[in-house]
Amino acid sequence: MLVLLAAVVTGAWAAATDKLYLVVDGTSATLKYGTRGENDPYYSSDGFGNWANPGSVKTTTTTITVDATCKNYQGKSLGSLFREFTVLTVINNLENLNTANTENISSMFDGCSSLTTLDLSSFNTASVTNMLQMFSGCSSLTTLDLSSFNTASVTNMNMMFYGCSSLESIYVGDGWNTDNVTSSDGMFNGCKKLPNYNGKTNKTNAHTGEGGYLKVKAKTYKVTLQEGTEDADKWTIPAEAEEGATVTATYSGTRKVKSVKAVKKVASLIVNPVVGQIIGSDGKNYDADATLPDGVTKVAMIAYVGNDAETSTTYNHGLALALEDVSATNMNWCSQTSVTCLGTQYVYDNNESNTWFNDLAGIANTDALVNHTGHTHDAASAARGYNSGTQPAGTSAWFLPSAGQWNKMATAAGSYANLKSNAGLKGGDFSAYWSSTECDAEHAWFFFPEYGGWNLNNKGGGNLVRACLAF
């Protein structure tokens, strides 16, 4: 007996008529993928990159914008895609062009003699084998950033940069590899402005070492003001800067600026943190009973782990308490009463909704209190100055925890009593700790670790202080 089984295949398939095509509007064009209009020029991905119905588009188009529909392109060839678009000066949104399956990008920009810049940072070249004449004739390019390129599978780089007579810098990254390249004749022919150019035009000098024609791109860092900087809106700074470059910061406010310092922020060294672990002076986390490496001392106890630990966008993964109070004696919150010290107050709520627990800005609070002019804030200043003002690499500066941060740490411990025991906070009916949360002009919030009660105290009154870190 013959049994016929019906097989159902599901999936997203490109229609047989789907093409890369151009919608032309004067000297501008949009590259799209899908069903084209009857007269739209379209690309034939037959490996040769021929354009059908091109008309005069190659010699009149100055701007091409890549449409989001091109993310659906699955073809293996983009060879000659922009070849001989001789007056093309700009290609926008190349990140929309899917290159994940592409094996052939030969002559992709060949003859684009008017192009002055190319953003290729989104190109996935892991499957590419053929880069023949990719940038040949791009005589107006001065810089090419190929730092995102993976060339491990490439075998053909013949005339890749042929005739790039203005090219002064080619930046490559860790993915640049020419070990499998077997054809590289004329790779750098005419590229006389490249560093160390000595007339050799094959892959011999396609490296960043001594005598190489290529460069390693300097690391670029975002430039930001320290959180809590007063008059932040009066500072003008660049969005980013290369490693080693001079950063210019301009202040247009009325305050007197004593000095400006740029500091490279160190990445956190804390891995898979757990409440109860210890942070060492080396910035790493250790189990509470672990033997620390020679020269490393215990600095703080991890008391909360979560991405809502701080309003800071940098240090918002957890909180760690110092292992001791900053002083054995009580200190005031502010040297003056009847004055508002912070931008936000959390007033007493008769409905007992504990609105002060919404304050998670311990770092910003401490910054503002320490930098306040006219009067002093002993508790915040003592917290900031704990351990001689030195904190482990990758963590925030020391700060006075806000009410919401104290509450998160107590919740993570299971209760305020547990937090008292685990962190070594002082107990008893009269031992209380300040938070950095302001209630009103007269009062700030504090709590009793013995039973977890929160209350208001006159800012000139005295309570204990425990410093905190965020990571």
| Predicted local distance difference test score (pLDDT) of residue 352 | 65
* pLDDT surpassing 60 at residue 2: no
| Predicted local distance difference test score (pLDDT) of residue 267 | 67
pLDDT tens column, 422-467: 999 998 878 999 999 999 999 999 999 999 999 998 999 999 999 9
Tell me the DSSP string of 166-190: T--EEEE-TT---TT--B-TTTTTT
pLDDT tens column, 371-390: 888 889 999 999 999 999 89
Task: Tell whether the torsion through CA atoms of 261, 380, 273 and 310 is positive or negative.
Answer: negative
* pLDDT surpassing 50 at residue 54: yes
Identify the CA nearest to 41 among candidates 22, 18, 14, 61. Answer: 22
Say how far apart CA 435 and CA 432 lie, in whole Å.
10
Q: How confident is residue 15, by pLDDT bands cut at 50, 70 and 90?
A: very low
Say how far apart CA 172 and CA 209 lie, in whole Å.
12
* pLDDT surpassing 60 at residue 408: yes
* pLDDT surpassing 70 at residue 6: no
| Predicted local distance difference test score (pLDDT) of residue 3 | 32
The H or E element that residue 57 is part of is helix 57-60
* pLDDT surpassing 90 at residue 94: yes
Over residues 203-221, the mean pLDDT reads: 89
Q: By the 8 A CB rule, do 49 and 81 touch?
A: yes
* pLDDT surpassing 80 at residue 53: no
Average pLDDT, the chain: 89
Q: By the 8 A CB rule, do 224 and 263 touch?
A: no
Least confident of 3-17, 96-110, 258-272: 3-17
Share of the chain above pLDDT 90, in %: 69
Full-model pTM: 0.52
- Burial code (b: 16+ CB inside 10 Å, e: under 16) for 346-377 equals beeeeeeeeebbebbbbbbbbbbbbebeeeeb
| Predicted local distance difference test score (pLDDT) of residue 265 | 64
Amino acid at 204: T
| Predicted local distance difference test score (pLDDT) of residue 224 | 78
* pLDDT surpassing 80 at residue 57: yes
pLDDT tens column, 285-327: 999 999 999 999 999 999 999 988 898 777 889 999 999 999 9
* pLDDT surpassing 60 at residue 11: no
Least confident of 81-85, 221-225, 270-274, 435-439: 221-225
Identify the CA nearest to 469 among candidates 299, 229, 273. Answer: 299
Say how far apart CA 402 and CA 115 lie, in whole Å.
55
Task: Tell whether the torsion through CA atoms of 85, 87, 92 and 94 is positive or negative.
Answer: positive
Q: By the 8 A CB rule, do 24 and 61 touch?
A: yes
The residue among 428 and 334 whose pLDDT is bigger is: 334
| Predicted local distance difference test score (pLDDT) of residue 13 | 37
Q: 3-state class of 403 per DSSP? A: helix
Q: How confident is residue 31, by pLDDT bands cut at 50, 70 and 90?
A: very high
Say how far apart CA 194 and CA 197 lie, in whole Å.
6
| Predicted local distance difference test score (pLDDT) of residue 5 | 32
CA distance to 127, 210, 318, 341, 440, per residue, from 433 (Å): 61, 61, 20, 19, 18
- Burial code (b: 16+ CB inside 10 Å, e: under 16) for 141-175 equals beebbbbbbbbeebbbbbbbbbbbbebebbbbeee
| Predicted local distance difference test score (pLDDT) of residue 14 | 43
| Predicted local distance difference test score (pLDDT) of residue 338 | 86
Least confident of 131-140, 309-318, 356-365, 441-450: 309-318
Over residues 14-41, the mean pLDDT reads: 85
Task: Return all residues near 254 (Cβ < 8 A) that are at least 6 apart.
Answer: none
Say how far apart CA 52 and CA 40 lie, in whole Å.
9
| Predicted local distance difference test score (pLDDT) of residue 268 | 73
